[in-house]
Amino acid sequence: MKDSWGGKLISISGRVYKALMFIFPTDFRREYGPLIAQAFRDISRDAYIDGNIRDIIYVWVRATSDLVGNAVAEHLTSKERVMRLRRILLQEIIRAISLSYIAFIFLALGVIFVEEQSFEGFAF
């Protein structure tokens, strides 16, 4: 009876924990979600085999506090990364516009120089 009940409890716990992982950023969840869910199932199974329901409750308390804390940290890190990439992109856009402007100035000066050279022999 204990094995059947324990297997169901571990299975349900794993599914609920995996559903709670929606609070992580999508990219993080895609990359690490399966590994984190597997670790939670393993820890839950070990807690059930080695102890009793209190040990599983303890695993849940620890896991949910870690889940929330790590999710907040990942979201902050993700936002910082996005802001850094936006800053770099803006710098590159400004650099490209500046170089285009400089190239346009040199092109205009070249055209003016060529036109002056070509009209030197003509009297108006």
DSSP one-letter code for 122: -
- Higher-confidence residue of 60 and 7: namely 60
Cβ contact 85:41 at 8 Å: no
Q: pTM above 0.75?
A: no
Cβ contact 24:71 at 8 Å: yes
Burial pattern 81-110, b for ≥16 Cβ within 10 A else e, equals eeeeeeeeeeeeeeeeeeeeeeeeeeeeee
pLDDT of the residue at 3: 60
pLDDT of the residue at 99: 85
49-53, 64-68, 80-84, 119-123, range with the lowest pLDDT: 119-123
- Does the pLDDT at position 56 exceed 70? yes
pLDDT band at 80 (very low <50, low <70, confident <90, very high): confident
- Does the pLDDT at position 35 exceed 90? yes
Q: Which amino acid is at 65?
A: S
pLDDT, the chain, mean: 82
DSSP structure string for 38-65? HHHHHHHHHHHHHS-HHHHHHHHHHHHH
- Higher-confidence residue of 35 and 119: namely 35
Mean pLDDT (whole number) for 29-33:
91
- Does the pLDDT at position 1 exceed 50? no
